[in-house]
Amino acid sequence: MTGRRSRALGLATAAALATVPLVVRRDDVLNFLFLVLLSVTLAESWNIVAGYAGQVNLGHAAFFGLGALTTRALWIAGAPVLGAMVAGAAVAVGFALLIGAAAFRLRGAYFAIGTLALGEILRITVGNVRAEISTLPAATIAGYRLAHRYYLALALAAAAVAVVAALGGSRLGLGMRAIREDEEAAEASGVGALRLKLLALALSTALAGLAGGLFAYYHISYYPAHPFSPTWTFDALLITFIGGVGTVHGPVLGAVFYVFLKEYLAIRWVDFHLLIFGLLFVAIVLLLPGGLVEAAARLGALARARVLTAIRK
């Protein structure tokens, strides 16, 4: 898709989604869309560091969790929710920069398992320190408006997509992709690899922290360790890969597909979606590294070729 056309399409989609709460009064629809939008944000945020900079971060949930933890605490203590979310993002980024310099000494799969360990360290520690369930005060529950959460999720998802789209065409994004393809060569041609990787991580974790804040704002009660669970990382990874890793549209497409199937299948068979997604994911890694986006592009090209030959005849 060309830049202008896809931007127009994106704006139109966002506008259409913005009218949904005005038209649809059903909470289940809003909840479903909320989940899609949260997933878009989380997946796009993971996509920055993993898809563009090529660093498979398996500890992504830690940053989502830190955002949730901070936001929830500040918000319940009386801070405005937007301020609390920004603080959550700041904490996530701060932690990312703290561990980033060390973690980025690791390459490829070692970075992946190293960050997986980091995520687990945080999850277990938070589970130990904050073992009790976190529930909103009664007054807040009474004033709970789903539409507020929905609009926040929409704004965040739109921002995430915009960030990734802007990154895609920028020098920054180009440098990140150079690192993904060949870090040594990138370094040799003057790309400051560590600086760019840290930048990618900061961008990525800022969005993840905001998404965590949104999670904290959305849920009435949950265990504080839950947003630290590696399943959040895995969701982001599945969505991004199924949709198309390192693309702007991939995570969006992936999120719609993933959440739809997940919710649909979960009604019938608990956890069955993971069996399907696990296998689908393996198939995509082996056979279709470009994900749904590439599949769509190929189908599109095929169809165009058909049409063209038909016209010529």
Partner 1 sequence: MTPLFQQLVLGLLIGGLYGLAAAGLSLVFGVLKVLNVAHGQLIMLGGYGAFWLFALRGLDPFASLAVVIPAALVAGGVLYWTLFGWVVRAPEETRVKNSLLIGFGLALALEAAAVRLWTADERSVTTGYAGAVLTVAGLAVPVVRLASLALALALCGGLHLVLARWRWGRAIRATAEDWEAALMTGIDVRRAYLLAFALGTALAGAAGTLVSVGYSISPSIGLEWTLKALIVVVLAGLGSMLGTFVGGLVLGLAEAVSATVFGGPYREVVGLVVFFVVLVARPRGLFVR
121 binds partner 1 (CB under 8 A): yes
With CB under 8 A, what is the number of residues at the site for partner 1?
A: 41
| Cα 47 off chain centre by | 7
2 binds partner 1 (CB under 8 A): no
109 binds partner 1 (CB under 8 A): yes
266 binds partner 1 (CB under 8 A): no
Q: Which range touches partner 1 (CB under 8 A), out of 64-72, 113-121, 215-223, 300-308?
A: 113-121
State both tokens at 256.
């719609």
List binders of partner 1 among 127-156 (CB under 8 A).
Answer: 127-128
Report the distance separating Cα 230 and Cα 192, nearest Å: 30
The SS3 call for residue 289 is coil
The DSSP symbol for 134 reads E
Residue 145 exposed, middle or buried by CB count within 10 Å (0-12, 13-18, 19+): exposed
* Residue closer to partner 1, measured from CB, 80 or 278: 278
To partner 1, the closest distance from the beta carbon of 78 in angstroms equals 31
264 binds partner 1 (CB under 8 A): no
Using the rule CB under 8 A, which residue among 139, 267, 286, 311 binds partner 1? 286
Strand-pairing partners, residue 201, are none
Report the distance separating Cα 222 and Cα 135, nearest Å: 7
* Residue closer to partner 1, measured from CB, 191 or 230: 230
* Residue closer to partner 1, measured from CB, 8 or 129: 129
222 binds partner 1 (CB under 8 A): no
126 binds partner 1 (CB under 8 A): no
Report the distance separating Cα 55 and Cα 200, nearest Å: 9
Using the rule CB under 8 A, which residue among 17, 61, 86, 118 binds partner 1? 118
Report the distance separating Cα 132 and Cα 190, nearest Å: 50
In angstroms, the Cα distances linking 207 to 83, 90, 140 are 15, 10, 25
List binders of partner 1 among 166-195 (CB under 8 A).
Answer: none
Residue 76 exposed, middle or buried by CB count within 10 Å (0-12, 13-18, 19+): middle
Interface with partner 1 by CB under 8 A: which residues? 56, 102-103, 105-110, 112-114, 116-118, 120-121, 124-125, 127-128, 230, 234, 237-238, 241, 269-275, 277-282, 285-286
